[in-house]
């Protein structure tokens, strides 16, 4: 199973790049903003997938890192008139440093203490966004954030922004892929399988976990800053507990320990409501049902579903009688 994902990726990457370039020309215009939002969530869920899928830790407060960076960059560029790239850099650094402060003590502990720590942290950050009115403009939201501009160019149209966001998705995807294939990736998988065994093998478990956690927060930070300079308006509601569970859902739905899955889960769950508009109020039921049914019948998420289809197709082509698709799944 994992062999398909991780070896056949050179043509896969080319295909991915081609899809990114082609999408805005193939899809109707109004899909651009939806795809931009999907790209932002893809960055978030790739980061979280590194943490959940490869290090076996859950973060229930990921929206906090997303929001910290969005607010930092938003405030610095709006209130203090920093140039946008400097604001984004500051936002990303803030997310990473905060993650280190939260992660290092909690990750020394076994079990899901990081989940609890991040949950609490997420709620606190959300309340601060609401209450620190002088800085964040409180529940009414921060307005007048400038659009992204760099090197004298303002990315004002959605098409330009689409390429900025999805270009970033691509780069971060390649980065994560290389990381997963490195010695570090193997160490992480060892940790996921058994922490005690990994530590016997001389792997500094806590350090590795903390590193991945900080990296996932950096991913969230990048997404957050790009969000702020896209919508040009931010309010605390976008960074609530609800947003955190949404990202977790995208990761699990896409398939844990699959970077492709993370992107697919994010795109699917962002685009889905667009298709569900026709059924108005009932979309919430469909959303819930899709979650439950996917988990129930497709434990490896969308990534596994696609693989099952692919291997079924492959075995048909080879003329084999029985398609033994999604079997032999290993974590």
Smallest separation, CB 318 to other proteins (Å): 31
Of the residues 85, 138, 184, 312, which one makes contact with other proteins according to CB under 8 A:
138
Of 199 and 315, which has the nearer Cβ to other proteins?
199
Of 22 and 285, which has the nearer Cβ to other proteins?
285
143 binds other proteins (CB under 8 A): yes
Of the residues 85, 120, 160, 174, which one makes contact with other proteins according to CB under 8 A:
120
119 binds other proteins (CB under 8 A): yes
221: three-class secondary structure by DSSP: helix
DSSP string for residues in 79-107? TS---HHHHHHHHHHHHHHHHHHHHHHHT
Give the chain's radius of gyration (CA, Å). 20
Of 164 and 291, which has the nearer Cβ to other proteins?
291
Distance CA 189, CA 280 (A): 43
Bridge partner residues of 142 (DSSP): 234
160 binds other proteins (CB under 8 A): no
The answer to whether 162 touches 24, Cβ cutoff 8 Å, is yes
Q: How far is CA 179 from CA 9, 170, 172, 173, 187, in A?
A: 14, 14, 10, 10, 11
Of 168 and 238, which has the nearer Cβ to other proteins?
238
Please measure the distance between the N-terminal and C-terminal CA atoms of the chain and give it in whole angstroms. 9
* Window 44-73: residues binding other proteins (CB under 8 A): 52, 58
Smallest separation, CB 289 to other proteins (Å): 6
327 binds other proteins (CB under 8 A): no
Q: How far is CA 304 from CA 5, 38, 236, 326, 331, in A?
A: 10, 20, 35, 7, 12
Per rule CB under 8 A, count of chain residues that contact other proteins: 73
* Window 226-285: residues binding other proteins (CB under 8 A): 227, 231-233, 235, 237-238, 241-242, 245, 248-249, 252-253, 256, 273-274, 277, 280-282, 284-285
Smallest separation, CB 104 to other proteins (Å): 10
CB burial readout 5-41, b (16+ within 10 A) else e? bbeebeeeeeebeeebeebbeeeeeebbebbbbbbbb
Smallest separation, CB 299 to other proteins (Å): 6
Of 83 and 288, which has the nearer Cβ to other proteins?
288
The dihedral built from the CA positions of residue 124, 127, 131 and 133, taken in this order, carries a sign that is positive
Considering only 70-78, 127-135, 161-169, 182-190, which stretch makes contact with other proteins by CB under 8 A? 127-135
- Give the per-residue contact string, 305-324, with other proteins (x = CB under 8 A; - = no): --------------------
Contacts 24+ apart (CB under 8 A), 97-100: 98/64, 98/65, 98/68, 98/217, 99/65, 99/213, 99/214, 99/216, 99/217, 99/218, 100/210, 100/214
Smallest separation, CB 187 to other proteins (Å): 14
Of the residues 4, 93, 123, 312, which one makes contact with other proteins according to CB under 8 A:
123
Of 141 and 167, which has the nearer Cβ to other proteins?
141
Smallest separation, CB 137 to other proteins (Å): 9
Distance CA 260, CA 255 (A): 8
190 binds other proteins (CB under 8 A): no
């Amino acid at each position: 199973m994992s062999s398909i994902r991780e070896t056949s990726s050179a043509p896969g990457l080319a295909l991915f790049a081609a899809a990114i370039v082609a999408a805005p020309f193939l899809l109707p215009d109004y899909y651009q903003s939806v795809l931009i939002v999907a790209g932002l969530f893809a960055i978030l869920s790739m980061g979280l997938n590194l943490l959940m899928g490869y290090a076996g830790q859950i973060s229930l407060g990921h929206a906090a890192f997303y929001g910290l960076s969005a607010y930092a960059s938003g405030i610095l560029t709006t209130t203090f008139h920093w140039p946008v790239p400097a604001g984004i850099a500051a936002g990303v650094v803030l997310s990473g440093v905060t993650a280190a402060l939260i992660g290092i003590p909690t990750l020394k502990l076994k079990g899901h203490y990081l989940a609890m720590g991040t949950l609490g942290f997420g709620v606190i950050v959300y309340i601060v966004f609401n209450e620190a009115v002088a800085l964040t403009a409180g529940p009414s939201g921060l307005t007048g954030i400038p659009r992204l501009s760099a090197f004298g160019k303002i990315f004002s149209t959605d098409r330009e922004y689409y390429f900025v966001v999805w270009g970033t998705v691509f780069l971060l995807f390649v980065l994560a892929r290389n990381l997963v294939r490195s010695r570090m990736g193997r160490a992480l998988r060892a940790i996921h399988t058994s922490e005690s065994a990994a530590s016997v093998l001389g792997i500094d478990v806590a350090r590795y976990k903390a590193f991945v956690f900080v990296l996932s927060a950096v991913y969230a930070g990048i997404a957050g800053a790009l969000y702020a300079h896209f919508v040009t308006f931010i309010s605390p509601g976008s960074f609530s507990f609800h947003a955190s569970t949404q990202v977790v859902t995208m990761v699990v739905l896409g398939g844990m320990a699959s970077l492709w899955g993370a992107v697919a889960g994010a795109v699917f769950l962002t685009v889905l409501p667009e298709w569900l508009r026709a059924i108005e109020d009932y979309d919430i039921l469909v959303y819930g049902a899709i979650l439950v049914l996917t988990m129930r019948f497709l434990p490896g998420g969308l990534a596994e579903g696609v693989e099952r289809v692919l291997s079924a197709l492959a075995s048909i082509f080879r003329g084999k009688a029985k398609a033994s698709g999604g079997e032999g799944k290993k974590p």
